[in-house]
A and B are shown apart, each in its own frame.
Chain A
């Protein structure tokens, strides 16, 4: 690591650690507002009878709805060294459907930290992994999200 690296010892310490744990209720109204905001008219998100016809116990959460359950972008120590951020991408895996009325626990860990030179100067690539589990303790989804700080 060079002296002017964006990666500080405190950041290195955070690697592998849990940076956020949150709990959230999946509300029918929140699903509807999310579907409206992304302008996705899929009836499974708003129409209980359509959801039942597809075998779900209630309206389901859209695939990227889980982003809305957290209260803030996960943070890192010393992140003020690179105050600006961009979202680099996400990879999601789903294990079982999430319906209105579910109670979800989110646990976010720092999976990796790398530094690269980019168009906007030196950039820090942080991969956060968020595991989502339901009220029965079963995993429902996992998201690997790359955040770019510069």
Chain B
């Protein structure tokens, strides 16, 4: 986890250290177990193909968790996540390397709270932008 970023230091245009994730079919099974999402497209190849998919796909909500990890790593131990969104624009497959990028797009203060907006995107190993999102984080003041 990175050092604690402070509101005064953070600037629009600052980028997160990219987060790399290496989801496997095993991770999808683990995620199915903890999330309760046992839809077979995530671990049963024959079933996935019967629904018109090319193969197994990663749970969208797991990609949402990856975006959230990128933000919570960046915001440090006393930053607070206020909002996060994820739109699944393309499907991702186990065995690929996914990279999550984040960039500060806005900073403002309201009611004594120091807020920062970040644009998020997840790229597949081929460089396709398969998930986009946004987060709002409250950062401590120096």
> What residues make up the interface of A, taking CB atoms closer than 8 Å to B?
30, 33-34, 36-40, 42-44, 50, 53-55, 62-64, 67-68, 70-73, 84-94, 97, 120
Check A38 against B81 for contact (C-beta < 8 Å): no
Residue positions of B touching A, CB distance < 8 A: 1, 21, 27, 30-31, 33-37, 39, 51-52, 59-62, 64-66, 68-69, 71-73, 77-78, 80-88, 133
Say yes or no: A84 contacts B52, CB within 8 Å. yes
Assess whether B68 is in contact with A64, with CB atoms less than 8 Å apart.
Answer: yes
Q: Looking at the complex, which one of B33, B39, B65 makes contact with A64 (CB distance below 8 Å)?
A: B65
Main secondary structure of the interface of B (DSSP, over half): mixed
Contact check, B72 vs A84: say whether CB atoms are below 8 A apart.
no
29 residue pairs of the A-B complex, CB under 8 angstroms, read A33-B34, A38-B65, A38-B66, A39-B21, A40-B69, A42-B72, A44-B77, A50-B77, A54-B77, A62-B72, A63-B65, A63-B84, A64-B61, A64-B68, A68-B35, A84-B51, A87-B61, A89-B64, A89-B85, A89-B87, A89-B133, A90-B64, A90-B85, A90-B86, A91-B83, A92-B84, A93-B83, A94-B82, A120-B52
Residues from chain A with a CB closer than 8 A to the CB of B35 are: 34, 37, 67-68
Contacts of A97 in B (CB 8 A): 80
Smallest CB-CB A-B distances: 9 pairs: A87-B60, A91-B85, A89-B87, A37-B30, A63-B68, A38-B65, A37-B34, A64-B65, A40-B69
Please determine whether B21 and A64 come into contact, CB atoms closer than 8 angstroms.
no
Contact indicator A38/B78 (Cβ below 8 Å): no
Partner of A42, one of B1, B31, B86: B1
A72 in contact with B66 (CB, 8 Å): no
Chain A contact surface mostly: mixed
- Please judge, given known A-B contacts A37-B31, A90-B64, whether A53 and B86 are in contact too, CB under 8 Å: no
For A42, the chain B residues whose CB sits under 8 A away are 1, 69, 72-73
